[in-house]
Structure 1
Amino acid sequence: MDRIPPPAWRKSSRSAQQDNCVEAADLPGGGCAIRDSKDPNGPVLRFTSSEWKTFIGGVKNGAFDDLSR
């Protein structure tokens, strides 16, 4: 049986060494996972490649700018 390696989590370069950040990881077979860096054993949000691309497109287009006030 093949073993799936654990995700390679990474933080945004904008977070510096702060602990209040999210981490992202590529998933085997495509998609992306997101977790709270302060709680690495906590819940993980999983997105398909299509969902993630749609979200990132919205971020780049300013769809969520009103949420960061």
Structure 2
Amino acid sequence: MDLKEIMATNLRRIRHDKKLTQEELADRAGLSMRYIGAIERGAVSASVTVLGQIADALGVEPGELLQRSG
């Protein structure tokens, strides 16, 4: 699994754990809902800046979004 897929999986899991919709997360992060969806599908790679915005919006450390499970 590459980092893009790992981030997609972790982002979706953390967002669901925090009971946020893609729209709510996008709002908090200052991003579009379509972009959040594309990141969650692994269709696009997020820049380091965007990774930071998403982590801040979720209240987690950026590394948590890139952590391999297992």
Under a length normalisation based on structure 2, what TM-score does the superposition of the two structures give? 0.28
Q: Normalized per residue, which structure has more helix?
A: 2
Question: Which is bigger in relative contact order (C-alpha 8 A, separation at least 6)?
Answer: 2
Q: Normalized per residue, which structure has more strand?
A: 1
